[in-house]
Structure 1
Amino acid sequence: MPTVIAHLDIDAFYASVELLRRPELRGRPVIVSGDGPRAVVTTASYEARKFGVGSAMPTRRALRLCPDAVLIPPDFGAYRAASEVVMRLVRGTVDEVEVMGLDEAYLDLGGLLSPRAAMRRLVTEIRAATGLDASVGIGPNKLIAKVASDAEKPRGFVVLTREQACARFAGHPPRLVPGIGGKTAERLEVLGITTLAALAAADPGLLAEHFGPRQGPWLVARGRFEGEESLQAVREAVSESRESTFDVDIAGPAELDAQLQRLADQLCRGLQKHDRTGRTIAIKVRLDDWTTVTRARTIAHPTNAVEHVGQIAAELLREYAPPRPVRLLGVRVASFGGVEEPPAQTAQLALPV
């Protein structure tokens, strides 16, 4: 049987759940977000997106772009309840499902006689049961399915072969493809690679020189829409973290250490609850200019003891010695069961406000 994978994504999930509870807001720009000075957008309705509002954008900026938007605080209990109904219907359609979050999943359709008809029925069932709309992409691998589901939102239904995906998106920038972020796209642009067609035709050896022996060929394969053809029905966690964005920037060793130990205590209690231990302890520090730095240390034996995690995290923070006030601080324990996390592409990122 040929590989046939679908990516199902509920349209503007959190905002859509809120609009079901507040039908009087339909047609108006809605932003789901907290209201603190450091709040970021969780999601936005399509009416708000027309103004340039997007997920993870600082809420203050979103409100400047769309001053008439209605701000709604997130209610994750309601989102989880809606997600459970959606995923029950998904699992009732196919046996093999890789759930990616509350609002999206990959489905293996290889065993179905009529994959398109099955997905159209599923979309109809989801809308009837929850009132939520979904977009669907179908292709021979996960990458194509994901890009296809994003192509015609909301209520999109796109089916593509690899050749069709290459032709349809040839003129699009590399950032269209999941996994290629802004910094990587900028480095590709320096090399004269500004479209997916150019990326697909690039010399893997050249990109290996600039991006490394693994990432260089991976980027070329991404441009050619070559991707995973199998699902991970259960995604095993290899790390767990806690982080906090402060309403007011903090500075000074004592205050930074106190916040770090608070996060380490929360993290270790969660690890102990699920009987998880790890060998890599890491910190994440975001300065007031949005420079983000990570530091990590791997120890000989796995741990979830707060005295060990907190001590190593504090040592990493002292070694880094933040040169500016800190807006975000995080602690992570990784390498559960000896499984290493994929290496980060960069250790330090300068992010725009």
Structure 2
Amino acid sequence: MSRKQQLHRPGPQPGPPADDTGCGILHVDMDAFFVSVELLERPELRGRPVVVGGAGPRGVVSAASYEARGFGVHSAMPMTRARRLCPQAVVLPPDHGKYSRVSAAVFEIFRSVTPLVEGLSLDEAFLDVAGARRRLGRPAVIAQLIRDQVRDQQGITCSVGVASTKFVAKLASTRCKPDGLLVVPADGVVDFLHPLPVAALWGVGERTEQTLTRLGLRTVGQLAQVPPDTLQRELGNALGAHLHALAWGRDPREVDPHTPDKSIGAEETFDTDIDDPEVIRRELLRLAEKVGARLRESGNAGRTVSVKLRMANFKTITRARTLSEPTDLARVIYITARELYEAAGLERVRLRLVGVRVENLSPAGEAPRQLAFDEPDNGWREAEQAMDQVAHRFGRGAVRPAALVRRAADGDGRDGRGRGQ
């Protein structure tokens, strides 16, 4: 690795890992995501080869731990072959609902940093953090903040590439796995790219790699020295021009937050585990206020309210209720979330994390105006809209429910709360 690239591993860092000037693009990739989520409930399997996938004769590997990868096991491999390569591996069936819930929470962390989030899958996304610099600091500092929040709130790790383009950021995250942070300075892109094999370029599949090898082109640097018209003649106009541009680090694509929100939520990880029901209820109120404000800001309303309750041992349960009509009112969200919490029977169980989420979203203008628990909702709606206006002018903490004001007056206002969204 050249002196223009620095790899950051876990641990305190006095400053940005490298010169991140002009590097406003992050690629965040969860480490062995499905396996990592499973290990939250099966911590005794940490350090052992673990495979997630179908166990039947036609089963396929969905994910493999890094220990299993050391035996040659990888995703999309037939499970029968994976068992031959690593007979001691523990095979777990996939639980996509569980992965989706963790993914949604991780993406909430992303969106708390910037609205410019382009999800590629459940476990990876591009972020444009250029607009967040004044609020949160340099891109490398933001990347570390995201890594810390993902670890603290979800108990899993991610790797982050920081660069000036999407292509280079994605390559960087791949090369610092697992649990790393790699900054590729804008003036170090060519030094970073040219030693890499040509297969690292987007668009180079097995057949294209064979063609390039036949031409004696094994590294990105060798390909970069070939005239574009020669590549176009050998590979076709579009692919030849595309690979030549990438070989020199040119990638004009912007982060495109094209995927509409499927849900809006917020959650809080406590600094110390909490078993006081009143503290939990106040936290649910705070989160409901946040979710309601985000719904109104986005112009959405939702029919399904859910709570997430994570215990000290990382065991997590969720409870949900679908309302008769969509809502964007924090009062409705809170009362529903509180009832779900009370019905879960965990009022004396120590909790590490609580979350509130609203799903089944639709544009608020298309939703019927609901009555809130047999009372006219106009007064509550007007009150919450007034709170939105005050918050927009003076900040979200300028106005809040009386219960939350009393909590702040009683102490430091945290009640054991830690990092949240």
- The CA deviation at 1:163 is 4.4
2:25 corresponds in structure 1 to 5
Q: Would you say the 8 A contact 1:144–1:162 is kept in 2?
A: no
1:56 corresponds in structure 2 to 76
What RMSD in Å do the two structures reach over aligned CA positions? 1.7
Q: Would you say the 8 A contact 1:96–1:107 is kept in 2?
A: yes
1:333 corresponds in structure 2 to none
| Amino acid corresponding to residue 208 of structure 1 in structure 2 | Q
Match of 1:75 among 95, 100, 106: 95
1:154 corresponds in structure 2 to 178
Matches of 1:202 and 1:152, distance apart in 2: 29
Q: Would you say the 8 A contact 1:15–1:44 is kept in 2?
A: yes
1:230 corresponds in structure 2 to 254
Match of 2:167 among 132, 137, 143: 143
Matches of 1:185 and 1:119, distance apart in 2: 33
1:86 corresponds in structure 2 to 106
Q: Would you say the 8 A contact 2:143–2:181 is kept in 1?
A: no
**1:116 partnered with 2:136:** no
| Amino acid corresponding to residue 5 of structure 1 in structure 2 | I
Q: Would you say the 8 A contact 1:162–1:225 is kept in 2?
A: no
Which has the higher Rg, Structure 1 or Structure 2?
A: 2
Match of 2:215 among 191, 205, 217: 191
Q: Would you say the 8 A contact 1:83–1:102 is kept in 2?
A: yes
- Length, aligned pairs only: 236
Q: Would you say the 8 A contact 2:143–2:162 is kept in 1?
A: no
2:63 corresponds in structure 1 to 43
Q: Would you say the 8 A contact 1:143–1:228 is kept in 2?
A: no
**1:24 partnered with 2:44:** yes
Aligned CA distance change for structure 1 residues 162 and 205 (closer, same or farther; 3 Å): farther
**1:105 partnered with 2:125:** yes
Q: Would you say the 8 A contact 1:9–1:149 is kept in 2?
A: yes
Q: Would you say the 8 A contact 2:35–2:64 is kept in 1?
A: yes
- The CA deviation at 1:172 is 2.3
| Amino acid corresponding to residue 101 of structure 2 in structure 1 | A
Matches of 2:186 and 2:247, distance apart in 1: 11
- The CA deviation at 1:148 is 0.4
Q: Would you say the 8 A contact 1:6–1:142 is kept in 2?
A: yes
Aligned ranges 1:174-253 → 2 under 5 Å: 174-235=198-259
Q: Would you say the 8 A contact 2:203–2:239 is kept in 1?
A: no
Q: Can you give the 5+ residue segments of structure 1 that lack an aligned partner in the other structure?
A: 237-353
Partner-residue secondary structure (3-state), 1:68: coil
| Amino acid corresponding to residue 37 of structure 1 in structure 2 | P
Match of 2:156 among 109, 122, 132: 132
- The CA deviation at 1:13 is 0.3
Partner-residue secondary structure (3-state), 1:71: strand
Matches of 2:129 and 2:182, distance apart in 1: 15
Q: Would you say the 8 A contact 1:3–1:229 is kept in 2?
A: no
Q: Can you give the 5+ residue segments of structure 2 that lack an aligned partner in the other structure?
A: 1-20, 261-421
Aligned CA distance change for structure 1 residues 188 and 163 (closer, same or farther; 3 Å): farther
Matches of 2:130 and 2:33, distance apart in 1: 27
Q: Would you say the 8 A contact 1:89–1:122 is kept in 2?
A: yes
Matches of 2:54 and 2:244, distance apart in 1: 39
Matches of 1:94 and 1:182, distance apart in 2: 36
Partner-residue secondary structure (3-state), 2:237: coil
Matches of 2:211 and 2:156, distance apart in 1: 39
| Amino acid corresponding to residue 194 of structure 1 in structure 2 | R
Scaled by the length of structure 2, the TM-score of the pair is 0.54
Matches of 1:2 and 1:27, distance apart in 2: 38
Aligned CA distance change for structure 1 residues 143 and 174 (closer, same or farther; 3 Å): same
Partner-residue secondary structure (3-state), 2:121: coil
Partner-residue secondary structure (3-state), 2:51: strand
| Amino acid corresponding to residue 218 of structure 1 in structure 2 | H
Matches of 1:235 and 1:228, distance apart in 2: 20
